Amino acid sequence: MFAVNRRYIKDFDWKLLTVAVMIASFGLLEISSAEPVSGLWKRQLVGIIIGLVAILVTTTIDYRIIANHYGLILYWIGVFLLGLVLTPLGKKVNGNQNWLDLGPVGFQPSEFAKLFTIVYLASYLSRFRIPQVDLRSMKSWPAKLILEEIVVRWIFPWVKIILIWALPTGLVYLENDTGSALSYISFLGGMFLLLAINWRWIVAGLVTILIVTALVFPLRVIPYLKSCSGYKCERIRAVYWPELAGKRFRYQNDQAEIAVGSGGIYGKGLRGSTQGTLGFVPEVHNDFIYAVASEEWGFVGASLVLFGYLFIILRLIWIASDASERLGSFLVTGFAVLLLYHVTVNVGMVLRLLPIMGIPLPLMSHGSTSVIATFFGLGLAINVRLRRFVN
Amino acid sequence: MLTREPNLEIDDLSRSPGQLGRRISLFYVLAIVIFVILIGRLWYLQVMNNELFIERAEQNRTRVLSIQARRGTIFDRNGEILATSQPSYNIVISRKDVRDIDDIADMLTVNLTIDREWLKRRFENAKFEPKYESIVVKEMASPSDVAWVEAHRYEYPMIRFEEAPRRSYPLGMVAAHVIGYVGEVSRSELNDTKSPFSKENGFKLGDIVGKAGIERTYNEILSGQDGERTVIVDSVGRIQREISVKPPVPGRDLYATIDMRIQRMAEAQTTSMPADRGVIIVSDPRNGEILALVSHPAFDPNLFSVRAKTNEGREEIRDLYEDPDKPLYNRAIQGSYPPGSTWKLLTSVAALNENVITPDDSRVQDGGIQLGNYFMNSLSNLGMPDVVTAIALSADGYYYRLGIKLGVDRFEKWVKLFKFGEKTGIDLPRESSGLPPTRSVKENITRNVLKRRKLDQGGVWSEKDDELVRRESHWTDYDMAASSFGQGTNASTPIQLLRYVAGLSIGGQMHTPHLLKRAAGGTDRFGRLQNETYYIDKGTYVVPMSPEIQEIVRRGMWQAVNGSGTAAAAAIPGFDVCGKTGTAQVASNDKAGAKNKDHAWFMSFAPRDNPELAMVILTENAGFGGKQSAPRARPIYEEYYRRTRGLPPLVSEGDLTKENTPGDSISGEGEKRPATGLPSRR
């Protein structure tokens, strides 16, 4: 099983892993600089080490075996854990019921459930062919048979995809974790794009969405968002119409913005953060770690981190395009889109471009589950890369 | 896993690397576009708006806390302390660390002896205070409290102590109306541009300012420059460390004209007033300096500065406001009273100046007078007395006729020359101007009465009613007769009468009564250097009267005390006290009762030649001036006389009564003499 040979070492994507470990280490440094409770960085370090071990272990197993043989099991484990969160075993953190309280260790199943859903969806989609119903050849068929043919061959496969996707998404949504629910949409969209749907359909879909948005947004959505109540609306207003938002909701955005903005070009240096260490920025070691990093390392450091993420994401897309068959492409694309979503939403919310949505910054935010899940995903990509040549 | 494999694979292009590559390139574009936007935003925040956010971060983390400056000390003219500021410590607690007051309430209750209920309320109230502020849990902490906090710094880092000078008034109620008191500036004063403590003048909420008395008038002198402490705070306002400290500069010391020796004698005299209300003011007629000012009843100014924060203190203050005797009201300058017979001097001076009578020929008929169908009674009937006798024996009938002879025009002229109906300009807040006995005042009063009556009945005020007012308020002989001896519409303040008698004593030179002797040099509120300051009398004026006239006034007043006059109870052998009594009717005779007894006046000066002291005594609702007020003047004069002339001081009360009983007084000698000495009771 543990086949350490020269080819494994040669084909292993060391660049991807190096950049990821660098970002994770930088995250570790920032956690130690800003942590409100001392010693948090140690727990993060444990997470990183477990993540690295997970990469080594998973890369020895062919990803096709993982996806096709264990995909369904992993998927149901993910769904089961998500369901468990909704039972009294679950714990509410910051308004989202997305934690499992396992005594000394907390566990956030949604991070793994996302990946497991991607794995199973990739496995399913890789074998999925867009059904074509040839009505001409069915001319002579009885109507009942035509209907059955349409339902069974055409509608049912799509429904199944939607069901596979909707089950965990619905559970996450029930956990009040809108940010994670939206992430399911992101990777589903990304993987759909890879399905050989006709280009015309894609363009037509995008144009329709654009026109509907252009019509509905100014007339219905914006007035609604400006007046609706509830913390989600407040968080949206805090970004786009701060004067209409409650002070309490504006606070986090304001403070993160001040942290980033006061960093300047070169930053205030390690442990130079005042916004973070004096407690103005909330969740500083967690969802807002990027705010402290930007404050301490300025534009230079903050954009360097972004380039690191960009490198990883572009490299993942490259791995997906270079994969030996459909499964690998779907798998890595799904993960790349998920990563892109996380980085965009987290950095976007820190920079006051997007509303605050409890999405951690992969690799940097404090949270062992998230780090291990991210490394697990990277491990799958490296796995695909290792086996890009058809044996 | 799948039930049925789709078998139509017409569009299976996924194995074609070119097609997949094109699709996937869409993700390259998407990722790069997103990162360009993010980096652009970073550039906008960190490079383009860096300065703005640096400033906001600084505002976030630094706080400038003000350190109260010590107010200047107020001394009497001899250097006795009237008001001072003592270093005192507040124990404060930073709010964040105390999520639940119950956690530490017991500990604080036991170790710092704080009332638990009070502490709870304090935390409740603190919810509405600005966020960064810490909660004061104990004011005026004792040294042992401070030591306890110091010793438990590591155990309870959220508890600390802060210096906060506390105003204290060592004399308690003595001279309270002169000194006044301090308190936090009120919101309404801050917002009123006309108030001396407006925001425009640099005051802010929480500043301690003078609320009454010298504390208020000379707030600018007494206030120092507050210091500043710049500290770094965390997001909940806990002080992390100090960056810089600008120490406060104390205010300037102030020396009042008050002479505590005279003030104490005067205080003692007010304690025995029958209705427990009255006024004694003593001044130096040569310059207007007030040597003693008592408005009785008084209050303890410490109540406002020291005890106001406790519940008991607040209750005591409420009691003060609700007391029907109004202890917070300074009767000496705010109270208006009919002056009664003390006014006869004004009528005499006016008549002599206008040649209605002359020094040689001043005889006028005394006794009751028939005015139309009304007979005006007179208590005296001395036949045809001259003006000196009329003053000395307070001949009412004499003044009825003299006033009518003088006529209202000339009478009003002299009221105005003496500046009755105007504020004296004393350096105390909220002085009232009184009502002079003039035709316009009578008309105004009549109009107000009629108007109120008519409006109460639902009527409308018209031209015709104005006509009625003019008819009703027509100045009759009765008005003239009443006004000439201090009744009628006359309402004057004791301080106006003091200026009047002081001026008369030195030949018509009217000095503005004042309390500021000098203010030491120092720094003001804004940190500017100020030189030593003396009082400058800008309001001094002269009432013209010839030496003959002055001599007549003096003789009349001297005889009132030293002859067989009304004020014999004030006589001191050797000191030549001159005085004039007054018994002012408060209500018409049929309403008279204990509550509406006459106000007893005595205004005087001494010695007769080159006077050194002028004095006004008002004993409210007590009866005859000669009986109730004149005797109170004597111990005050006596103390001064013996002290300044090097005579042995009076040993005890008993001696005083025996040795100094005036022989032939018309005032009842059987009555008890007011006690001397320090006030021992209220």
> How confident is the model over B497-505, as a mean pLDDT?
96
Asked if A261 and B19 come within 8 Å (Cβ–Cβ), the reply is: no
A262 contacts on B by Cβ (under 8 Å): 50, 53-54, 56-57
Q: What is the pLDDT of residue B632?
A: 96
The alpha carbon of A276 is separated from its chain's Cα centroid by a whole number of angstroms, namely: 25
* Strands, E assignment, B485-577: 509-510, 516-519, 522-523, 529-530, 533-534, 541-542
pLDDT band at B15 (very low <50, low <70, confident <90, very high): very low
CA angle, residues A57, A60, A61, in degrees to nearest 5: 100
Domain spans, chain A: 6-386
A290 contacts on B by Cβ (under 8 Å): none
- What is the spatial distance between Cα B75 and Cα B87, in angstroms, rounded to a whole number? 18
Mean pLDDT of chain B: 85
A328 in B contact zone (CB under 8 Å): no
Minimum mean pLDDT range among A208-217, A261-270, B145-154: B145-154
pLDDT band at B187 (very low <50, low <70, confident <90, very high): confident
B46 contacts on A by Cβ (under 8 Å): 260-261, 263-265, 294, 298-299, 302
Asked if A299 and B15 come within 8 Å (Cβ–Cβ), the reply is: no
B657 in A contact zone (CB under 8 Å): no
For tokens 């004069």, what's the residue?
B637
Q: How many residues does chain B have?
A: 682
pLDDT band at B550 (very low <50, low <70, confident <90, very high): very high
Residue at B192: amino acid letter: D
Q: What is the pLDDT of residue B237?
A: 65
For tokens 């006239």, what's the residue?
B549
| Model confidence pLDDT, tens digit, residues B441-478 | 999 999 999 889 888 888 888 888 888 888 888 899 99
C-alpha neighbours within 13 Å on the C-beta side of residue A54: 20
Nearest to A23 by CA among A381, A361, A345: A361
Instruction: Return all residues near B442 (Cβ < 8 A) that are at least 6 apart.
Output: B473, B475, B479, B488, B489
DSSP codes, B588-647: -GGG-SSTTPPEEEEEEEESSSS--EEEEEEETT-S-HHHHTHHHHHHHHHHHHHHHTTP
> How confident is the model over B548-560, as a mean pLDDT?
94
User: Which residues, in sequence order, are bridge partners of residue B64?
Assistant: B230
Q: What is the pLDDT of residue A127?
A: 87
Looking at the partner chain, which of B12, B46, B235 has a beta carbon nearest the beta carbon of A196?
B12
B236 contacts on A by Cβ (under 8 Å): 279
Asked if A194 and B14 come within 8 Å (Cβ–Cβ), the reply is: yes
Minimum mean pLDDT range among A112-121, B464-473, B548-557: B464-473
> How confident is the model over A55-78, as a mean pLDDT?
93
With respect to residue B334, please indicate whether it lies within any of the assigned structural domains: yes
Nearest to A347 by CA among A290, A297, A301: A290
CB neighbour burial string for B371-383, b if at least 16 within 10 angstroms, e if fewer? beeeebebebebe
Q: Which two tokens stand for residue A135?
A: 């009505």
pLDDT band at B97 (very low <50, low <70, confident <90, very high): low
- What is the spatial distance between Cα B200 and Cα B220, in angstroms, rounded to a whole number? 14
- What is the spatial distance between Cα B611 and Cα A371, in angstroms, rounded to a whole number? 98
pLDDT band at B589 (very low <50, low <70, confident <90, very high): low
Looking at the partner chain, which of B11, B17, B54 has a beta carbon nearest the beta carbon of A262?
B54
Environment class of B678 (CB within 10 Å of its CB; exposed 0-12, middle 13-18, buried 19+): exposed
| Model confidence pLDDT, tens digit, residues B615-648 | 999 999 998 999 999 999 999 999 999 999 988 8
A310 contacts on B by Cβ (under 8 Å): 31-32, 35
What's the CATH number where B565 sits? 3.40.710.10
Q: Which two tokens stand for residue B639?
A: 């103390």
pLDDT band at B341 (very low <50, low <70, confident <90, very high): very high
- What is the spatial distance between Cα B86 and Cα A361, in angstroms, rounded to a whole number? 57
Total Cβ atoms within 10 A of residue B199:
15
Nearest to B349 by CA among B414, B261, B432: B414
The C-alpha of B41 sits at a distance from chain A's nearest C-alpha, in angstroms, of 7
Minimum mean pLDDT range among A6-15, A100-109, A205-214, B579-588: A100-109
Checking if the pLDDT of A174 tops 80, the result is yes
Which residues 202-241 on chain A approach chain B with CB closer than 8 angstroms?
none
pLDDT band at B663 (very low <50, low <70, confident <90, very high): very low
User: How large is the C-alpha radius of gyration of chain A?
Assistant: 23
Residues of chain A above pLDDT 70, percent: 94
How far CA B530 is from CA of B217, B274, B425, in Å, comes to 17, 47, 24
Minimum mean pLDDT range among A170-174, A198-202, A289-293, B465-469: A198-202
Asked if A298 and B27 come within 8 Å (Cβ–Cβ), the reply is: no
Which domain, by its residues, includes B586? 262-298+330-508+543-659
Q: What is the pLDDT of residue B671?
A: 36
- Chain A residue with minimal CA distance to B241? A278
Its pTM stands at 0.71
* Overall domain count for chain B: 1
- What is the spatial distance between Cα B614 and Cα B505, in angstroms, rounded to a whole number? 8
Checking if the pLDDT of B660 tops 50, the result is no
- What is the spatial distance between Cα B365 and Cα B402, in angstroms, rounded to a whole number? 9
Optimal mutation site among B42, B61, B233, interface A, most CBs of chain A within 10 A: B42
| Model confidence pLDDT, tens digit, residues B21-79 | 677 888 999 999 999 999 999 999 999 999 999 999 988 888 777 788 899 999 999 99
Minimum mean pLDDT range among A45-49, A124-128, B274-278: A124-128
Which residues 342-361 on chain B approach chain A with CB closer than 8 angstroms?
none
Q: What is the pLDDT of residue A89?
A: 76
DSSP codes, B551-580: HHHHHHHHHHHHSSSTTGGG--TTT--EEE
